[in-house]
């Protein structure tokens, strides 16, 4: 595996798994320790560990094992040493504290764009999360069809289809948007449904289910991981 192939595998893996502030620094003119440092951040020690494990797995699949690995126990700073390339994956606050980039500021900062695989935002980072989202989207569409039969408007179907499409894409924050729209619709219709409970009890039941699903798509870990697709495939802005 060439050095360039190693760089691409490591950087593209970090990018795909939503690492933040990915940097590649060429240090071969400054030290004999390595030719490149790759530095990235996770938002939590759990994500930091996950990033490191995924890099190690993808490199192992390519037939390359680290010469040394450290930091898995605390997962605030994980180091994967591949000889010419050393990967540093930090918990965000730990990275801010040590400021490794500043220590190697004389190194050559590498443009990572050529090493990042352009992302198809229709993919998902968690299939279970997408499946849950699809169930919720199917419920919204089915509910709108039933309401149309019961005398509702076509606009309900339009909204439901838009919600289902948003839930499918997994684009960042759209789960919260869909949840907010669902909750708002319930709140708007709540007074009328309560005052006409005998006739509108089914809509009240729908409202309860809507709120339950709104909470699920906001807090379920699998769903939250599904909703990590970036709005732009340009990762250099991380």
pLDDT for 27-64, tens place per residue? 999 999 899 999 999 989 889 999 999 999 999 999 99
Domain limits, the chain:
3-117, 127-226
CA geometry: angle 170, 176, 181, nearest 5 deg: 115
CA 122 to chain centre: 12
Q: What is the share, in percent, of the chain residues with pLDDT greater than 70?
A: 94
pLDDT for res 37: 96
pLDDT at 197 over 50: yes
pLDDT for 96-139, tens place per residue? 999 998 999 999 999 888 777 555 556 777 889 999 999 999 99
pTM, two decimals, is 0.54
Give the helix/strand (H/E) hosting 99.
Answer: none
**Could you tell me the CA-to-CA distances from 139 to 175, 209, 212, 224 in Å, in that order?**
15, 9, 12, 19
Tokens encoding 65: 């094992």
pLDDT at 66 over 50: yes
CA dist 31 and 38 (Å) reads 15
CATH number of 3-117: 3.30.460.10
Q: What is the mean pLDDT of the chain?
A: 89
Strand ranges inside the chain, DSSP E:
20-26, 36-42, 68-70, 77-81, 85-91, 108-110
């Amino acid at each position: 595996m060439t050095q360039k192939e190693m760089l691409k595998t490591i950087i593209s893996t970090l990018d795909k798994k939503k690492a933040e502030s990915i940097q590649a620094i060429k240090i071969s003119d400054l030290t004999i320790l390595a030719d490149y440092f790759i530095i990235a951040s996770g938002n939590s020690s759990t994500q930091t560990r996950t990033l490191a494990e995924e890099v190690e797995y993808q490199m192992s699949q390519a037939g390359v094992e680290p010469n040394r690995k450290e930091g898995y126990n605390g997962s605030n700073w994980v180091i994967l040493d591949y000889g010419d390339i050393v990967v540093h994956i930090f918990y965000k606050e730990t990275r801010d504290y040590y400021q490794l980039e500043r220590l190697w500021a004389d190194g050559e900062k590498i443009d990572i764009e050529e090493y990042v695989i352009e992302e198809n935002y229709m993919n998902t980072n968690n299939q279970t999360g997408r499946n849950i989202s699809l169930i919720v989207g199917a419920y919204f569409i089915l509910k709108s069809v039933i309401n149309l039969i019961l005398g509702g408007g076509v606009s309900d179907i339009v909204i439901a289809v838009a919600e289902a499409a948003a839930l499918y894409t997994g684009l960042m924050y759209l789960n919260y948007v869909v949840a907010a729209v669902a909750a708002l619709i319930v709140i708007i219709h709540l007074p009328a449904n309560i005052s006409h409970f005998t006739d509108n009890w089914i809509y009240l039941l729908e409202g309860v289910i809507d709120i339950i699903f709104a909470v699920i798509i906001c807090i379920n870990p699998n769903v939250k991981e599904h909703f990590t697709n970036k709005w732009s495939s340009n990762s250099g802005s991380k």
